[in-house]
Structure 1
Amino acid sequence: MRRIVFCITCRHSAEEREGPDGVTGGETLARHMEALLAERQRHDIAVDRQSCLWSCLKHCNVFLQDSERYSYLAGSFTPSRETAEAILAWFDLHGASATGEVSFKAWPQAMRGHFIARFPPART
């Protein structure tokens, strides 16, 4: 199972809770991701929303979850279409690897400096 979980209570920026449209940053970013996946007719990644990921020192937090590989928490994103594209590009590289480890050289520039934590896959 591969999914991207967006913290919908996350701030729009370090300074603002909501964007000009009155929507939180996490919800805005989730909507951008849903639109991107729909345009590309991608059904292999689920988009979920979570009320608070408990990483409130950052804003616009995203949990990149995979049941077979490492999962990652990242934050301090700008809630934009470009950010959604970078997250998806990185997550595709992640999915193409056996362990979920992506060479730093391959990371989209917009993903650098945003990772908070890495989590091992759940063992059954």
Structure 2
Amino acid sequence: MSTTPMRRLIICSTCKFSPESKTGPDGRTGGQMMHDAVQAVLTKQDRSDVDVTTQSCMWNCDRPCSVVAQDDQRFSYVTGHNKPTEEQAEAIIAWFDAHGATDDGIVPFRLWPQLMRGHFIARMPPMKGEDKA
């Protein structure tokens, strides 16, 4: 069994642009815009180490845009109320990097980027078969 954690960001592709509007001024959903913003930040940072994927409707429609930080060895997190902007994407990636630097996926609050505060909805235990408190 591999000891390298499987990690990825999952972005809801069908998330609304805002609570009031499915699409933004350019006709794309908020989720599509969030995905593009994350990819743009990773490109600017010359990074290929972050796996980013999409999933249609994550049932978090009251809190668009939804982004999940998934990890098979550490806690995984569901976030919402993410604005589909590059600034928010930078905060998501910075938090995901801090998450990856931990053993258990619990990032000390003082290390959270300001734009990630108030966005966490749930955390799920890792799937590595151990009961963690």
> 5 Å matches for 1:64-79?
64-79=69-84
* Per-residue deviation, 1:41: 2.1
Deviations 1:48-105 (A, max 9, x none): 0100111122110001111111110000111100000000000000000110101111
Give, in whole Å, the separation in 2 of the partners of 1:27 and 1:119.
25
Give, in whole Å, the separation in 2 of the partners of 1:59 and 1:112.
15
Q: Is the 8 A contact 1:30 1:49 kept in 2?
A: yes
> 5 Å matches for 1:74-89?
74-89=79-94
**Structure 1 residue runs of 4+, over 2 Å off?**
none
Give, in whole Å, the separation in 2 of the partners of 1:45 and 1:121.
18
Give, in whole Å, the separation in 1 of the partners of 2:124 and 2:75.
5
Letter in 2 for 1:114: H
- Provide the TM-score with structure 2 as the length reference: 0.89
SS in 1 for 2:110: helix
* Per-residue deviation, 1:106: 1.1
Paired residues in the alignment total 124
1:112 partnered with 2:117: yes
What 5-or-longer segments of structure 2 have no aligned partner?
Answer: 1-5
Letter in 1 for 2:48: H
Give, in whole Å, the separation in 1 of the partners of 2:73 and 2:56.
24
Give, in whole Å, the separation in 1 of the partners of 2:90 and 2:80.
15
> 5 Å matches for 1:1-124?
1-124=6-129
What 5-or-longer segments of structure 1 have no aligned partner?
Answer: none
The percent of aligned pairs where both chains have the same amino acid is 50
Larger radius of gyration: 2
Give, in whole Å, the separation in 1 of the partners of 2:109 and 2:83.
20
Identify the residue that residue 3 of structure 2 maps to in structure 1. Answer: none
- Provide the TM-score with structure 1 as the length reference: 0.96
Kindly report the root-mean-square deviation, in angstroms, between the aligned alpha carbons of the 2 structures.
1.0
Q: Is the 8 A contact 1:2 1:44 kept in 2?
A: no
SS in 2 for 1:88: helix
